[in-house]
A = this chain, B = another copy of it.
Amino acid sequence: MAKKRETQPQLQEISKLPVPDVDSLDEDIQKYIQVCDEKLGMVPNVIRATALRQESLRTFNSKFKQLMLSDDSGLTHLEREMIAVVVSSHNRCVYCIVSHGQAVRELSGDPVFGDILITNYRDLNLSDRHRAMLDFAWKMTATPWLIGDADRQALCDAGFGHADVFDIADTAAFFNYTNRMASSLGMAPNEDYFALNRLPGPRRAAKDAAE
């Protein structure tokens, strides 16, 4: 007998504000969306939602590309995604935790690492470098008015150079932007993010399968 479903369907809307038809958008944006779909196998909902104001989407894309995709940084791509997740964890932002949590699972190759990070980075077994980096990102997010020389020095003591301190600040600050856009517009994450880069089935699943 099929159990009656207790919960209601989720992810019905991309955004709580109107989402323009792709056809109605400027050509460069349409092109951009097409490239996303081809490269990622999906169009991240943040693109569709932000297209309500195309000029804002353009500046968002530039900033995102400069910060998260560039190779010109002393921070690895994984480190930048770790900062994204920790800021989003503080701000309890569903969209960014789901999407950047996936990125951390993928880049680290460690889904356990990614899933602990979204809840409490202090529970991870972190290098001193990563702990210092994430403590800075958390404090910047929670109480930016308390950041001072001692906090910047702690990053230098952990081996970061001045350009790295800038990039940590830039990344953490940027996700304080994106979290608030996602929450204010009520963006829902794409379903694909939830499934990607999970652990292979555990012992129990094997057992279930055998029955």
The distance in angstroms between the C-alpha atoms of A166 and B111, with both chains bound, is 30
Q: Which of B17, B140, B200 contacts A183 (CB 8 A)?
A: B140
Q: Given A125-B10, A196-B205 in contact, is the A183-B111 Cβ separation under 8 Å?
A: no
Q: How far does the Cβ of A124 sit from chain B's closest Cβ, in whole Å?
A: 6
The answer to whether A158 has its CB under 8 Å from any CB of chain B is no
Number of copies: 6
Q: How far does the Cβ of A77 sit from chain B's closest Cβ, in whole Å?
A: 10
Q: Which of B55, B91, B170, B191 contacts A145 (CB 8 A)?
A: B91
Q: Which of B56, B170, B203 contacts A41 (CB 8 A)?
A: B203
Contacts of A52 in B (CB 8 A): 162-163, 166
* A-B contacts, 6 listed (Cβ < 8 Å): A7-B108, A8-B125, A10-B124, A92-B145, A120-B145, A123-B186
3 tightest CB-CB pairs across the interface, nearest first?
A41-B204, A195-B199, A169-B184
